[in-house]
Structure 1
Amino acid sequence: MTRVLVVNAGSSSIKTTLLDHDDTVLAHDSLPVEHGGFDADALAAALDRAPAPDAVGHRVVHGGSEFTEPVRLDDRVRDRLRDLADLAPLHQAKSLAGIDAVGRALPDVPAVACFDTAFHATLPPAAATYALPAAWRDRYALRRYGFHGLSHAYASRTAAELTGRSRTVVAHLGAGASLCAVRDGRSVDTTMGFTPLEGLVMATRSGSVDPGLLLWLIEHEGLAPADVADALEHDSGLTGLAGTGDLRDLLARDDDASRLAVDVYLHRLRAGIAAMAASLDGLDVLVFTGGVGEHSPQIRSRATDGLEFLGVALDLDRNAVETVTGAVDVGTSGAPVRTIVVESREDLEVAAGVRAVLTG
C-alpha cells in the first residue's frame, strides 16, 4: 500500500492530503464548506491535480457503538453512518458527502472510514455511563462516546514517544474543543459525550449546559427542540458570548463581552484539565494540539495558570512558539509535569488505519 489519500470533511472546510508510503505529503488541498456544503466539482478538480492514490481514508466523526475500529466502506457501512447523522450534525453529513463525492471521482479505489469515536471505545463504564433509566440506556444506546479521537490518539502517542511517560491529558483546542485522559495509550475519560456538544466551551457550541435549563426554555418559552438544538450548535459558545468564535479576535479586543467570553472559556478548560488528571490519579504530561492549542501561546499560558498544584509550569520563552512542526516542549525544565505542544496530524492517524485494514 503506497499512496493514501486522506479526506477530512470538517465544519468549515474539506481537506485532502495525499501521503506516500513513508507519510511524505505529496499533495494537499483545502476547499471551503459554505452554506452547509462544498463544491463537488472543485473537489474532483483537486483530486485530478494530484497523483493517483492507492487507497482513500475518510475521517468520520461518529461510529456509534458498532464501529470501534477503521472499516472498509461499502453500501451497508454508508447506510449505518447515515443513521448516526443526528448525533453529529455539524460533521457527519459533510463526511458522508465527502465519501460520496470522492467515491464518484475515484470509483475503483478502495476506501476506509476511520472514526473519531473509536479511540474512546476503551472508556471504563464509570466514565461512559450516564445516570439515566436503564430502559433508556439500553433501548437507545445512550452513553458517552467521545470525539476528536483521531487527534487524541496521535497527540498522546507522540507525547509518549517523546517523554516515555504514561498519564497524559490532551487538550484538543480548535473550533471544536475537547479534553482526553490517556493512560498507556488508552482513553479513560473525555469531555465530549453522547454528542460533540458536551464539555468545553467552543467556537459556536455551548459545551455542557444544565439540561433543566433547556427543558425550561422548551416548556416555558415554547421554543421548538429543533431551534434549541440549532442554537446550541451554531449560535452558542464564544459566538453566543461575544459575537465571534475566533479567539484571536477576542484576545485582541478590549471590551466586557470579549473578556467574559475568554474567561468563561478558560474557566471551563482549567477545570476540565484538573478533572482529567483526577481520572488518571495524577498527571505526567499535558499536551496542547489543534488550531488554538498549537498557535496561541496566550491561551496555553492562561489555561495553565493556577495548575501549579498539578505540577504544570510553562517556560514563557519556550511557550512563545506559534508554529509547531512535530512536537515542542514548552514546560519549565524540571517541572513534575511535561507540557508539550503537538502538531495535529489526524491525516497520519487515518493513513495508519487505512493500511491496517487493507494490508493487515
Structure 2
Amino acid sequence: MKILVLNAGSSSQKSCLYEITEDTLPDHFLQLIWEAKVDWTHQQNVVELKVKTQGAILKEELEAMERSSIITHMLNTLWNGETQVIEKPSDVDGVGHRVVHGGEKYRQSVQITPEVKDAIAELSIFAPIHNPINLEGIEAIATVFGEVPQVAVFDTAFHAQLPLAATVYPIPYQWFEKGIRRYGFHGISHRYCADRAAQILERDLQELRLVTCHLGNGCSLAAIQNGHSIDTTMGFTPLEGLMMGSRSGSVDPGILIHLLRQEGFSADQLDEMLNKSSGLKGVSGVSADLRQILAAISENNAQAKLAFDVYIHRLRAQIGAMAASLKGLDVLVFTAGVGENSPEVRAAACEGFEFLGLRIDPEKNANSPKDQDISMPDSTIRVLVIQTQEDWAIAQECWQILR
C-alpha cells in the first residue's frame, strides 16, 4: 500500500511517500520512497522546494503564489521529471494528514468525510494558524488525486486522556462545559518519541515516566506515564506554555487586558503580537531562528543572550512542572528541530537538574546524536535525543485505518 503523508506547519510543508505491506511494517521506521519540503519563509516573495528520492534530488526556488498552487506543483513531482516514483496519481492508495486541532470529538485518527472537513474548519477558531492550512492540504489532494481515501491524524488525540485536574482551567466552570479546556498539541511527535524511547532503552513503556521536549519553531512538553499523556504545556491553543520561535507562550493575562484598555490594541493586533512577533524573535529583535540567536550571542549581542536565557529559564521551569506531575522522572527526551540539533539548549536545560543526579555526557551531547542516550552511565535520569518521525507515525495510522 502506497501511503502519502502531508504534514503542514506554519512555516513549512513536509510531504513523503511510503510503501507499506504486512511483511515490511516495522516497529519504528520504514525507508522513504519520496520526500519533499516547501519552505514558505525561505526569502521574501520566494518559496523553496526540495524533493528527494533514492536516486534524485530537486531544488527549486519558486515565485510566491497561492499555497494550494505550490502544493500541487510539489505533488506533480511524484510522477514527473527526475523525481518520478509512480506512474500516475491513482498509484497512491491513501493520504494521511497531520491535523492540529481535533477538539473534544476526535480522540483518534479518522477517515476524512465532508463532516470531518466541516469539523476541522469549525475548529479553526481554536487553531487559526494551523487548521486552515491542514484543510488546504486536504482540498489540494482531492483536486490532484480525486477520490483517494484521506485520513486525519490529530495532534490533540494523544492528550485526550489528560486528567481533569490538568484539563480544566481555573475560570468559571461553564466555560469548560462550552469546550474551553486544555487540549494539548504535538501529540503525534510526543507519542512517537515515547514509543521510540522505550525501544532504545529496551524497557517497557508502561514502566517509564517520561518528559518529552518537542522543541522547534513551536515548543511543547508532555508528561507521559503508562504510555499516556497526563500533562502537557500547550493548552486551549498552541500558544500556551513554553517560549517559542515567534510565539510568546504563557504570559500574564493581565498584560493583555492592559494593552486592550490602555494602548487601544484590537484582538487582531494581540493575535499578531503573541503569535508572530513574540518569543525568541520578540525578545531578541534578531530572529525566531535559534541558530541566528546563537550567532548573535557569539557577537556579544546582549538582547539575543537575554532571549536565550529567558527561553532556558522557562524550559527548565516547565520540565520541573512535568516531572512533578509524574511524581518522578526516568527519561528526558529532546526532539524536533531545536531539541535534535542544539547541544547548547540540551546542556543548559539539563544543567538545571544536576541536583537530581541527572548528568549528560558532554562529548555525546556535542555530536548531536540521533536516537541515542546522551546521559552518563551513572545518571539517575536517562537523557535521549530522538529524531521525531511524525510522518512515519501518520503513515502507520493511515495504514491501520485503510487496510
Give the stretch that moved more between structures: 350-359 or 69-78: 350-359
Distance 2:352 2:278 in 1: 27
TM superposition shift of 1:323: 5.3
Partner SS state of residue 108, structure 1: coil
1:170 to 212, 216, 219: 212
The within-5 A match list for 1:85-164 is 85-139=124-178, 141-163=179-201, 164=203
TM superposition shift of 1:50: 3.6
Residue 285, structure 1, aligned to residue 323, structure 2: no
In structure 1, the residue matched to 2:302 is 256
Unaligned regions of 5+ residues in structure 2, if any?
A: 25-29, 42-63
Give the stretch that moved more between structures: 259-268 or 330-339: 330-339
In structure 2, the residue matched to 1:217 is 259
In the TM superposition, what whole-angstrom CA distance separates every residue of 1:173-197 from its partner, at most 9, and x where no partner exists? 0000000000121000000000000
Residue 247, structure 1, aligned to residue 290, structure 2: yes
Give the stretch that moved more between structures: 49-58 or 182-191: 49-58
In structure 1, the residue matched to 2:45 is none
When normalised by structure 2's length, the TM-score is: 0.85
In structure 2, the residue matched to 1:235 is 277
Judge conservation of contact 1:146–1:194 (CA < 8 Å) in 2. Answer: yes
Partner SS state of residue 122, structure 1: coil
In structure 1, the residue matched to 2:52 is none
Residue 37, structure 1, aligned to residue 75, structure 2: no
Residue 185, structure 1, aligned to residue 227, structure 2: yes
After superposition, the CA RMSD in angstroms is 1.4
TM superposition shift of 1:64: 0.5
In structure 1, the residue matched to 2:12 is 13
In structure 2, the residue matched to 1:65 is 104
Amino acid at match of 2:219: A
In structure 1, the residue matched to 2:242 is 200
Judge conservation of contact 2:369–2:385 (CA < 8 Å) in 1. Answer: no
Unaligned regions of 5+ residues in structure 1, if any?
A: none
In the TM superposition, what whole-angstrom CA distance separates every residue of 1:33-53 from its partner, at most 9, and x where no partner exists? 367835143133234334232
TM superposition shift of 1:303: 1.1
In the TM superposition, what whole-angstrom CA distance separates every residue of 1:95-117 from its partner, at most 9, and x where no partner exists? 11011101211113211000000
Partner SS state of residue 33, structure 1: strand
- Structure number with greater Rg is 2
Amino acid at match of 2:333: V
Distance 2:71 2:345 in 1: 36
In the TM superposition, what whole-angstrom CA distance separates every residue of 1:185-220 from its partner, at most 9, and x where no partner exists? 100000000000000000000000111110111011
Distance 1:309 1:120 in 2: 30
Distance 1:44 1:161 in 2: 34
TM superposition shift of 1:222: 1.1
Judge conservation of contact 2:200–2:372 (CA < 8 Å) in 1. Answer: no
Name the count of aligned residue pairs: 355
Distance 1:168 1:31 in 2: 32
- Structure 1 runs (4+) deviating above 4 angstroms are none
Partner SS state of residue 25, structure 1: coil
Ranked by relative contact order (alpha carbons within 8 Å, sequence separation 6 or more), the top structure is 1
